[in-house]
Amino acid sequence: MNVNVYGFELKSQLRVFLAGTVILIGTALLFLVGAYPIYRDSKADVEKVIDGFPPQFAALFGVNDNIFSFGGFYRFSSLYFMLIMAIMSCAWGLAIFGREKRSKTIDFLFVMPTSRISLYLSKLAAGCTLIAGAGAAFLLTVAFSYDRYRDDPTATAIPLPRLLLAAASLFGVGIVFLSFGALTAVLLRRIRSVSGIATAYGVLAFMLVSLPEMTGEDAYRIVAPFTWFNIDEAMNHGHYEAGYLILAAVVALACLTASAIAYARGDVEGL
């Protein structure tokens, strides 16, 4: 691994990382500290609103009767946390692995006295570090939010370790979407908009969550990356579903391997 490339990528993404992490933490506080008490204390009024939702709309946004418990509200909120992390991680993958294409300096990068795989691994390590940093900040925010509800039986019914395990799903989502961004950056000849592509990936994944809930067919979870990390399973049983974790790992490894091969073998013009 090339330490200079690793450090350069971290420094280049620092401002975006800080902005994205602030948005993630702010959203978590808005939902868990700001909105949850309002939903809990206005149950009758909120139920009337929920009853007026079409079933498809409610399924799309994860709205159900369980939203009045802390665990249920976290499950509802987690889709938005995953959306933010997915967009950020995909954008980091696109920006880090597509930087030289956008600046048209890839020929200079590839004449450096280091292998392409070393360059690739340095960039990948930088992306993983960003995900780890944002994920750690999110875990601290969730722990802080949980601590505010010591007298709430619906919150204390969920042990903090299980809640943090559920919150750790953002690490998995981040790695999967980093791999999507890396593969897209390597394969595309020109990257016109990092934010546009990353947002498209995130919104598509968000919408796919509704497929298994609206159809009742669990098989649709295969094409819905957010559902590979089952929040209910983590909070209720203290673990994730092994099959879907393996699926997430296989998809991420396949994308990263394919992007590494393309990065190492592609000519300057093609990259």
In the structure, what pLDDT confidence band is assigned to residue 154 with cuts at 50, 70 and 90? Answer: confident
Residue 65 confidence (pLDDT) above 70 = no
Give the pLDDT confidence score for residue 211 in this predicted structure: 81
Q: What is the mean pLDDT of the chain?
A: 85
Can you give the pLDDT at residue 214?
72
Query: What is the pLDDT, as a whole number, of residue 39?
Result: 79
**pLDDT tens digits for 208-239?**
888 877 777 778 889 999 999 999 899 888 89
Q: What is the pTM of this model?
A: 0.88
Range in 68-72, 93-97, 253-257 the model is least confident about: 68-72
Q: How does 245-261 read in b/e, with b if 16+ C-beta sit within 10 Å?
A: eebbeebbeebbeebbe
The tens digit of pLDDT for each residue in 12-38 reads 999 999 999 999 999 999 999 988 888
Instruction: Give the confidence band of 51 by pLDDT, cuts at 50, 70, 90.
Output: low
Residue 105, Cβ density class (10 Å: 0-12 exposed, 13-18 middle, ≥19 buried) = exposed
Query: Each residue of 162-198: pLDDT tens digit?
Result: 999 999 999 999 999 999 999 999 988 888 889 899 9
Domain ranges of the chain: 3-24+78-265
Q: Is the pLDDT of residue 114 over 80?
A: no
112 pLDDT above the threshold of 80: no
Residue 113 has pLDDT above 70, yes or no: no
Helices (H), the chain: 3-29, 36-41, 43-51, 55-60, 70-103, 106-110, 116-147, 153-156, 160-167, 169-187, 194-208, 210-215, 231-237, 242-265
Q: Residue 82 and residue 206: Cα distance in Å, rounded?
A: 8
| Cα gap 83→198, rounded to integer Å | 10
pLDDT greater than 70 at residue 107? no
